[in-house]
Amino acid sequence: MKKIYTYILGIASLLLPSCSDYFDINTDPNNPSDVDYTTLVPTIQLYGTRALCTSSGLSNELIVYTHQFSTREEANEYGVTGADFYTTYGWQYMYVRALENLELAMDKASEANDNFTIGMLKVLKAYYYSQFVDVFGDIPFSEACKTDEGIQFPKYDKDSEIYPQLFTLLDEGIAALKQDGASGGDFDLYYGGNAAQWIKAANSIKLKLYTQVRLVQDVSAEVKALIDGGNLMASTEDGLMFRFGSSTAPDERHPGYPDSYATTQQTNHISPWFYEIMRGLNKTIFTNNKDPRIPYYFYNQLKADQASSQACEYRDGGFVSIYFGSRGDRVSLSRDNDLTVPGIYPVGGRYDDGNGGKVNANSGTGAGVYRNLTYADCLYLEAELMQAGVINGDVRAKLKAAMEESFKLVDYVVEAAGSSQSIPVLAGTQTVNEYITKVLAEFDNGNDEKKMEIIMTQKWIQNFGNAVDTYTDYRRTGYPVMFDPNAVGGYVTPPAGGDPTETLPPVPVACSVAYPKSLPYISDELNLNPNAPAQKTDLGNKNVFWDK
């Protein structure tokens, strides 16, 4: 997997005129009329990733909906609207920067009989559209990005009618990638032009999509054929993952890094619900089983015994945050010097060695990894399918393999970050093995529902930073169990005085909005496209077709 400097160099080559063209007054060198399609591929892959990421796309709000972050902005109390900044950018990045260029590149690759690029782009197209269907439901598809055909205002296709076409795209992509001589190069930032790995990715995406529709159709035969075919992801390196760089000019870093390490306007916080489950403090799952990934996931600016600068709404040792749905006075206090921020996993931040220290732009590298779909995900998908009775197999063994791979994935992301810290390897250590053993013991003692909860909760923990899939998993299965302010209570003004590290007591302030079953449409799109539907209302009942 190549880092995004390839993209920067490719774009730069478009902007630099040759000497012989310098005095051609009829040619604008900064606005080329044509472009080599391989130069478009990094742009497609970069902005397709940014459209889904935290701090630049859909995951920024969905990570709050899935209770890995808490926030002081629109997503608090499920308040995202069609005018939300990050959701709007996610839509624009996907349709304008990624899919528009994807269609152009595919046309040019077809003219050149470049089977690798055709196949790769069809796989990406299927994946990108599946992510947007999963979040929005009905979206522009059949007429989208067809301005060359005179279609300026695409219709919105039904979500249930789009999905079958995604499987067709994946099959066509695989067929093209299997052609003799199908291979690419460094312009492919995911696999460096490796057709075999793209085929594994395509099959693994099919496994994911079949799992997601299992409640509305019988997919046992299709899933069995995929697994028996043996051409799914089979190692950490097979994962469809985008590796960001560390350069700041231009900024190649994971979008979540500058948003947490290089800003004085902190709005997103690690969810106490997420933290407590990993810390072993939750009373219903993984109780007294501390997750060894904590110092990789979270960086505490405060030492455990260090006084905070202002009263904390939530604090446990060095961990400082706010509650989802909070309306208390402490939630509005500036926490830039105190709050816990995302760690080296997944944003390329800092590993927490317990010494504390205020973060700044140089605390980490920012060379994080966005994990679109990983080998660990595939193992969790198989475990879910086994537990649901769709296929046969040893669920316990599959869950164990999935957890072991999840820890290997942390090590992979750490290596990609290129940190100057001395960071211990995680996978295979005694601490990890003891953690997994305790999870499996809890699994063995659970009923069928508890076993499914454990599978999906471990997948949720592994997917930190990729909230699109977690949002989908939760609506499909009801797991993991999310923080519910209607049941637990919101949080209001703390009592006067008292210890500044004291957490607020729960009081019954209910969230007034039902859990959204899909996101609202982007206001700009509705205002400009006369073929767009009316804005959604009552989002608690606007299910995507597979959500039964």
- In-domain check, residue 108: yes
Ranking 261-275, 415-429, 465-479, 484-498 by mean pLDDT, the lowest is: 484-498
354 within domain boundaries: no
- Is there a domain that residue 288 lies in? no
- What is the rounded distance in angstroms from the CA atom of residue 408 to the CA atom of residue 51? 26
Q: How far is residue 68's CA from residue 79's CA, in Å, rounded to a whole number?
A: 16
Please count the residues of the chain: 548
Q: How many angstroms separate the Cα of 265 from the Cα of each of 262, 334, 529?
A: 9, 8, 34
Output 80 or 543, whichever has higher pLDDT: 543
Residue 289 carries which side chain, given as an amino acid letter? N
Distance CA 241, CA 372 (A): 5
Higher-confidence position of 322 and 287: 287
**Structure confidence by residue, pLDDT tens digits, 456-498:** 999 999 999 999 999 999 999 999 999 987 776 655 444 444 4
**Number of independent structural domains in the chain:** 1
**What tokens appear for 492 in the block?**
């209001």
Cβ of 168: how many Cβ atoms within 10 Å? 11
Helix (H) or strand (E) holding 471: helix 467-477
Instruction: Render the burial of 89-111: b for 16+ CB within 10 Å, e for the rest.
Output: bbbbbbbebbbbbbbbbbebbee
Residue 18 pLDDT? 31
Confidence of residue 31 (pLDDT cuts 50, 70, 90): low
Tens of pLDDT along 36-95? 999 999 999 999 999 999 999 999 999 999 999 998 888 888 988 999 999 999 999 999
CA distances from 73 to 40, 61, 325 (A): 34, 9, 10
pLDDT single digits (tens) 167-212? 999 999 999 999 988 889 999 999 999 999 999 999 999 999 999 9
Tokens standing for residue 40: 């478009």
Other residues' Cβ atoms within 10 Å of the Cβ of residue 229? 9
Q: Is residue 150 part of a domain?
A: yes
Show the tokens assigned to 23: 């005095």
Query: Of the ranges 24-28, 128-132, 215-219, 339-343, which one carries the lowest mean pLDDT score?
Result: 24-28
C-alpha distances out from residue 302 to 57, 95, 291, 317, 341, Å:
29, 41, 20, 8, 11
User: What DSSP string runs through 154-214?
Assistant: PPEEPHHHHHHHHHHHHHHHHHHHTSTT----TT-TTTTT-HHHHHHHHHHHHHHHHHHTT
Q: Do residues 494 and 311 make contact, with C-beta atoms less than 8 angstroms apart?
A: yes
Distances (CA, A) of 121 to 19, 106, 112, 213: 34, 7, 14, 23
Residue 459 maps to a domain: yes
Q: Is residue 476 part of a domain?
A: yes
Q: CA angle, 122 as apex, 232 and 104 as ends, to 5°?
A: 155
81 is in which domain, residue-wise? 5-17+33-254+367-482+515-541
- Reported as a pLDDT band with limits 50, 70 and 90, residue 311 is confident
Burial readout 249-287 (b: 16 or more C-beta within 10 A, e: otherwise) = eebbbbbbbbbbbbeeebbbbbbbbbbbbbbbebeebbe
363-391 pLDDT per residue, tens: 999 999 999 999 999 999 999 999 999 99
> Can you read off the two tokens belonging to residue 538?
């009552």
With contact defined as beta carbons under 8 Å apart, do 37 and 289 qualify? no
Nearby residues of 281 by Cβ (< 8 Å), 6 or more positions away: 287, 316
What's the CATH number where 197 sits? Answer: 1.25.40.390
Position 242 pLDDT exceeds 60: yes
Identify the pLDDT of residue 509.
55
In a domain, 331, yes or no: no
What pLDDT is recorded for position 363? 97
Q: pTM score, two decimals?
A: 0.92
Q: Is the residue at 411 inside a domain? A: yes
Average pLDDT, stretch 386-407? 98
Q: Which residues contact 300 (CB under 8 A, 6 or more apart)?
A: 317, 318, 319, 320, 340, 352, 354, 356
